Amino acid sequence: MARSESEVSHEVECIRRVQRGDSEAFGPLVERYQQRIFSILFHLVRRRDEVEDLAQEVFFKAFRAIRSYNFQSSFATWLSRIAVNHCYDYLRKVRASRLSYYSEMTEEGARELERKAESPPSRGLDHGEKVTLRDFVGRLMARAPEDDRLILTLKELEDYSVEEIADLLKLKPSTVKVRLHRARKRMVADLERWRQEG
């Protein structure tokens, strides 16, 4: 959504004030970007109860680093980058303690997945089906390597363009495209593997 010139200049003014040591000016920045950060965190971590704590940590990191922000990229991108990096570290930490999502899946859930695989959801899904499907794919996402999960979340869930992802992750757009294709392919292959294991 395009922002007015006054909104942008107000944001710049707030950033400069925080950089000069006025912590009060950080409030409007938090208010403006909290939902964006909550969305990234939720889609990457998928733990409702942890999103707010993680968001606090992200804003805390941003506050501490704000003097290094040089207006080269947009503040939204800079802040999102901090959130993504924070999540990446978090996911790496929890990976070791994560249970196998396949083994957690119930037999009934597995049968449901089979049924849906046989009849592709082109006709649209009802609420119950959506919940089931969301659960399955959420589990697949949770099982995916951090890099795949990150790029799939930004593209498929957060709806970022390839160029925006490239800017955020400091990669070339061509690299983003390749990683995205590989991540999708691995995820589909992982579903197939699960089916064979089941």
Partner 1 sequence: MDCKELRDLVSELWGGDLPAEAREHLSKCAGCGVFLRDARLVRAGLRALAEEAVPEASLGFASRMVRRLQEWEEKGARSEFFETVGRRFVYATLGLTLALLLSLALPTSGPVRGVAGADFLGFESHNQVSQADVIGGDFGDSHDLIPGGPTE
Q: Rank residues 26 and 88 by Cβ distance to partner 1 and give the closer one.
A: 26
Long-range contacts: 63-68, Cβ < 8 Å, 24+?
A: 63/18, 63/23, 63/26, 66/15, 66/18, 66/19, 66/26, 67/19
Gap between the Cα atoms of 133 and 112, Å rounded: 9
Torsion of CA 54, 56, 58, 59, to 10 degrees: 160
Q: Find the binding residues for partner 1 in span 140-159 (CB under 8 A).
A: 140-141, 152, 156-159
Q: Rank residues 49 and 107 by Cβ distance to partner 1 and give the closer one.
A: 49
Contact characters 25-64, partner 1, x per CB under 8 A: -xxx-xx--xx--xx--xx----x--xx--xx--xx--x-
How far from chain centre, in Å, is Cα 3? 23
Binding site for partner 1 (CB under 8 A): 23-24, 26-28, 30-31, 34-35, 38-39, 42-43, 48, 51-52, 55-56, 59-60, 63, 113, 116-118, 120-122, 125, 130-131, 133-134, 136-138, 140-141, 152, 156-159, 181-182, 184-185, 187-188, 191-192
